[in-house]
Amino acid sequence: MIWVLVAIVIWALGWWINIRLSNSARSDETLMRVAIPVIFGLTVVIVWEMLVHGFDVNPVILPAPSSIIERLGAEGPRLWADFKQTILKGAVSGYVIGGGAALAVAVLADRSDFLTRGILPVGSFMAALPIVGTAPIFVKWLGSDWESKAAVVAVMVFFPILVNTVAGLRDTSSMQRDLMRTYGAGYWPTLFKLRLPAAMPFMFNGLKIATTLALIGAIVAEFFGSPTVGMGFRISTSFGQLALDMVWAEIVVAAIAGSAFYGAMTLIEKRVTFWHPSQR
Amino acid sequence: MRSVLPVLSVVAAILGFWLLCVVPMNMHLVADQAQRDGLLVTPDTPVARQDVGGVALALKNTHLIPLTYEFKRPRLPSPQQVGREMYATIIDKKITSKRSLVYHGWVTLAPTLLGFLIGTSLGILLAVGIVYSRVMDRSVMPWAIVSQTIPILALAPMIIVVLGSMGIQGLFPKSIIAAYLSFFPVVVGMVKGLRSPDGMQLDLLRTYNASKAQGFWSLRLPASAPYLFASLKIGISASLVGTIVAELPTGARAGFGARMLVGDQYGQPLVSWAALFAAALTAAALVGIFSLIERVTLKRMGMAAA
């Protein structure tokens, strides 16, 4: 019972600090903008730890944060091997293949208004094909190693990137296009100097959505067959052994990888589309 | 309406490509079967055929090509096979039958809609909290954004099993996954929407001496409608995918996800493919319904459709 009381006190304390911080005069400084969510996150983790002890929660249902951290430290090499197999081999290569193909198709389709109007709705429909159905098909075709995961990821990321890029390539005003024409610029200079740069904010929107999809695809596809390494494989086998702390350790790795992947894309976007109003 | 023809031609191109792929993908299996049936096949041993590619094998055995389109357990079923299977399981079967896709569709749709309702309502409430409370904005909003980059969907099957072991079964666990997935798009969209009135509009309300509640009901909430609909469309398809993934663990005996798994495990690719397309059609229909509501609502509110 004492744990629960401590948890309530800590929750109140964390919330009180945050109220003070966010209503203080300095709340718009960068330091505060980082500190407040961090304090909130820490409070949640501590309260979680307390409640797990306080209510004596079975570790098979919800492990304590401390045991997850312990696992993260103890299983470092194995987590790294899973990370390499799933993220670096499966997700990233699929992301590059799917993104490259989407970009090429978008530029091709953009040459004809007819194709563009056809591809956008069909692309949205294909994006709705649930991964659960496509993953076993690809595993059957390409074997259980990372190639099938890369294929699943490529198919998943293809349509969001395609739809966004096609929409972006159309996002030039007739004034801008006319200006290019008065310069005597042909199709290719117009594409590279005006329309591709103008499409960048849209494209990065698609690329950012696709980062999460890529991770989900690579992990879920491993549920349908994989070598004895990989995050999806580890999640399902650890779950079978009721080692939930290991499952959560993989989740932490996946969360960090997902945020880093997304963050990397945001950074590149900032560098590339520095001229866009949303970045200034 | 003017995009009907382009859409049809893109679909036709995809179907054409699919039809072309069916031959090389199934050729080896068909050739093995044809030999067992006593038909003439060149080269005449399975081992020798392994060294020949699918296209080359098809060119050597042109008389077998029609068979690839009607093979019973194909690696890649032909479009007409999938179409027939869908027709048979959606229209011909009684809805009460265990093999009817309508029945399985409802099993998936019910938790999706329940979860979507829960997720959307909670999302709107949290968004209102974030807009009106500085503390919540500063401490919760960054996490709401970060959580969208976490591949939580990959955990859906585990969450179902854990909830099952706690005695929570049936509709509800799947709804939780669906609710979770529709929750954050709605939060992020609604926060943007509730903040979309500009200073001029807010000032106008202040000159009217409007209370906070009046400002909410007559300015902020209506202004957020376009953003809400955009989020709802993302949320409903995310919910559907979430429910399907949640059906993966062995416990699920019905639903689109279960059908896909059954088709995969018992070597009935047609069942998987039909379920796959039925699921995509359902998602498209749900998004279509919301687009329709969006257009009608925004028109009546005097806003141009986004």
Nearest to B236 by CA among B191, B285, B274: B285
pLDDT of B96 reads 72
Residues of B in contact with A244 (CB under 8 A): 162
CB contact under 8 A, A114 and B6: yes
Residues of B in contact with A30 (CB under 8 A): none
Residues of B in contact with A261 (CB under 8 A): 149
Using the 8-state DSSP alphabet, how is residue B153 labeled? G
List phi, psi (to 5°) of A26: -95, 15
- For residue B159, the chain A residue with the least C-alpha distance is A61
Question: Percent of chain A at pLDDT above 70?
Answer: 98
A20 touches chain B (CB under 8 A): no
Tell me the pLDDT of chain B averaged across its residues: 81
End-to-end alpha carbon distance in chain B: 18
Q: A67 CA to chain B: closest CA distance, Å?
A: 18
Q: B277 CA to chain A: closest CA distance, Å?
A: 7
- Residues A207, A201: Cα–Cα separation, whole Å: 10
Tell me the pLDDT of chain A averaged across its residues: 82
CB contact under 8 A, A128 and B146: no
pLDDT of B306 reads 46
| Model confidence at A209: pLDDT above 60 | yes
| Model confidence at B251: pLDDT above 60 | no
- Residues A150, B49: Cα–Cα separation, whole Å: 28
A24 touches chain B (CB under 8 A): no
Residues of A in contact with B279 (CB under 8 A): 128-130, 133
B219-230: pLDDT as tens digits: 888 888 888 888
pLDDT of A13 reads 85
Residues of A in contact with B242 (CB under 8 A): none
| Model confidence at A44: pLDDT above 60 | yes
Place B249 in a pLDDT band, splitting at 50, 70 and 90: low
Question: Alpha helix locations (H) across chain A?
Answer: 2-23, 30-54, 65-74, 76-83, 93-110, 113-127, 131-142, 146-169, 174-182, 187-190, 196-222, 231-240, 244-272
The pair of three-digit structure tokens given for residue B251, joined into one six-digit string: 């416990």
- Residues B148, A255: Cα–Cα separation, whole Å: 10
Residues of A in contact with B157 (CB under 8 A): 223, 236
Contact between A190 and A110 (Cβ < 8 Å): no
Nearest to A223 by CA among B161, B149, B83, B206: B161
Place A279 in a pLDDT band, splitting at 50, 70 and 90: low
- For residue A122, the chain B residue with the least C-alpha distance is B7
A237 touches chain B (CB under 8 A): no
CB contact under 8 A, B244 and A132: yes
Average pLDDT over residues B21-29: 80
Can you tell me the ipTM of this complex? 0.74
- Residues B289, B284: Cα–Cα separation, whole Å: 9
Kindly report which listed range (A248-262, B42-56, B178-192) carries the lowest average pLDDT score: B42-56
Place A253 in a pLDDT band, splitting at 50, 70 and 90: confident
CB contact under 8 A, A130 and B276: yes
Residues of B in contact with A215 (CB under 8 A): 151, 154
Q: Is A56 left (phi over 0), alpha (psi -120 to 50) or beta?
A: left
A114-168: pLDDT as tens digits: 888 888 778 877 777 777 678 888 888 887 788 888 888 888 888 888 888 888 8
Interface test mutation site (partner B, options A132, A215, A256, max chain B beta carbons within 10 A): A132
CB contact under 8 A, A125 and B280: yes
Which one is predicted more confidently, B208 or A19?
B208
| Model confidence at B304: pLDDT above 70 | no
- Residues B303, B239: Cα–Cα separation, whole Å: 28
Buried b (16+ CB within 10 A) or exposed e, B238-253: bbbbbbbbbbbbeebe
Place B104 in a pLDDT band, splitting at 50, 70 and 90: confident
CA quadruple B94, B96, B99, B102: dihedral sign: positive
Residues of A in contact with B246 (CB under 8 A): none
A211-240: pLDDT as tens digits: 888 888 888 888 877 788 888 888 888 877
Q: B229 CA to chain A: closest CA distance, Å?
A: 17
Which of B237, B245, B264 lies nearest to residue A128, judging by beta carbons? B237
Q: B260 CA to chain A: closest CA distance, Å?
A: 6
| Model confidence at A96: pLDDT above 90 | yes
| Model confidence at B56: pLDDT above 70 | yes
A64-94: pLDDT as tens digits: 888 888 888 888 888 888 888 888 888 899 9
Residue carrying structure tokens 């968004």: B127
